[in-house]
Amino acid sequence: MATNQVPQTPAISPLTIKERTGSISTAEIISVLKGEITALHIKQAFSTETAGEITANFVGSPALKERKDGVPGQYVGASHYRKDAASYFAESKNAKPFVDALFENLVDPVRGIFDALKRELHNQGIELRLARSEHGQASVCRALSWSGSGTFSLDPHDDVAQVLCAGNDYELSAVAHNTVVALNVYPSMPEEGGNLRLWSHKPTVADRKSQGVETTGYPYSAAYLEPVPSREFQLKAGDIALIDGGFVHGVTGQLGNGRRRLVLNSFFGFARPDLVLWWT
Ligand SMILES: O=C(O)CCC(=O)C(=O)O
Ligand SMILES: [Fe+2]
């Protein structure tokens, strides 16, 4: 991390949060997409049976790997983070059978949301589809188990820097100028900790430069975030959280050696008024 730049005091942006129990609705998802809500936390959004099966499939997956891009964690699937388009789309293609296998024989919550949102947006004259290029198409989701130790198991970051700096090969860089929604579906949570923490701060390019995280948005230091208020979401297996990924967020440390934390993560946002792209 560069430390020789001019320090920048983070501007505070208010959080608009909706938390409730039940089924997720497309209207609520669209509210996040349009920037009307910063975060939506739906508790008990899918069954613990489905959650348990996805978790068992992840643990037993032959494609389960350790991340080697500086973010500690294990994963199944593809991430565009720090990758050019050709590598990401090739990785998505290779990972597809293994991502599909996480949901074998299940009516899964990620596809459920994607399909329902696609139908609703279509009714409004808006297309929703996976991001694509001459190299192939994006994945519907990736499965991640963070393993950072200490205060955070996933350090504070934003999801927009990586999109903004994705490069011309990626049609999704247009989305960085609109809300980048992060969809997080939780099949497994530890006994304690592993909460999603959201700070009242949406970094600008200048903020990222001042913190030496211009292209990655990762990680923001404790000192930088110290004056910024934050909210924590207490998550349980079966919950779903959608956030405006432009706000700084991270995952708190996990306690206990029992259940592992597993998240299914995807991103989506408007590339044009009539087009919403989805990727991982
Ligand atoms: O695991 C979570 O709750 C959040 C994941 C996340 O922020 C990310 O993958 O960018
Ligand atoms: Fe994130």
CATH number of the structural domain spanning residue 204 = 2.60.120.620
- Round the CA-based radius of gyration of the chain to a whole number and report it: 18
For residues 175 and 182, is the Cβ–Cβ distance under 8 A? no
Do the domain assignments include residue 28? yes
For residue 6, name the pLDDT band (cuts at 50, 70, 90): low
Q: What is the DSSP letter of 168?
A: T
Number of compact structural domains in the chain: 1
Q: Which two tokens stand for residue 86?
A: 């050709």
Average pLDDT of span 138-150: 94
Q: Which ligand is nearest to the CA of 247?
A: 2
End-to-end CA distance of the chain: 25
Q: 236 in a domain, yes or no?
A: yes
- Looking from the CA of residue 159, the nearest atom of ligand 1 is 10
Shortest-distance Cα residue to atom 3 of ligand 1? 196
- Per residue in 41-57, pLDDT (tens digit) is 999 999 999 999 999 99
Structure token pair of residue 149: 């130790």
CB atoms within 10 A of CB 147: 16
Containing H/E element for 142?
A: strand 142-146
Rounded to the nearest angstrom, the distance between the alpha carbon of 182 and the centre of ligand 2 is: 7
DSSP string, 75-109: EES---TT--HHHHHHHHHHHHHHHHHHTTTS--H
How much is the pLDDT for 82? 86
The interface predicted TM-score (ipTM) is 0.99
Question: Which domain covers residue 53, as residue numbers?
Answer: 17-279
Ligand 1 atom having least distance to the Cα of 241: 3
**Cα 92 from Cα 86, distance rounded (Å):** 10
Closest CA to ligand 1's atom 1:
263
Ligand 1 atom nearest the C-alpha of 235 is: 3
11 domain residue, yes or no: no
Q: Are 218 and 71 in contact (CB under 8 A)?
A: yes
Which pLDDT belongs to residue 255?
83
Domain membership flag for residue 206: yes
pLDDT at 105: 92
Query: Is 102 a pocket residue for ligand 1 (Cβ < 6 Å)?
Result: no
Whether residue 219 is preceded by a cis peptide bond, meaning omega within 30 degrees of 0, is: yes
pLDDT recorded at residue 3: 47
Is 102 inside any structural domain? yes
For ligand 1, pick from 74, 198, 263, 267 the residue to mutate: most ligand atoms within 8 Å of CB.
Answer: 263
Q: Which atom of ligand 1 lies at the shortest distance from residue 196's CA?
A: 3
Is 251 close to ligand 1, i.e. is its CB under 6 Å away?
yes
Let me know if residue 2 belongs to a domain.
no
In a domain, 4, yes or no: no
Residue 8 belongs to a domain: no
What are the distances in angstroms from CA 133 to CA 47, 48, 89, 174, 252?
35, 37, 8, 14, 36
User: Tens of pLDDT along 101-123?
Assistant: 999 999 999 999 999 999 999 99
Record the tokens describing residue 216, joined without a space.
């990655």
Q: Report strand pairing: 39-43 vs 239-244.
A: antiparallel
**Residue 183 pLDDT > 80:** yes
Q: Is any atom of ligand 1 closer than 6 Å to the C-beta of 263?
A: yes
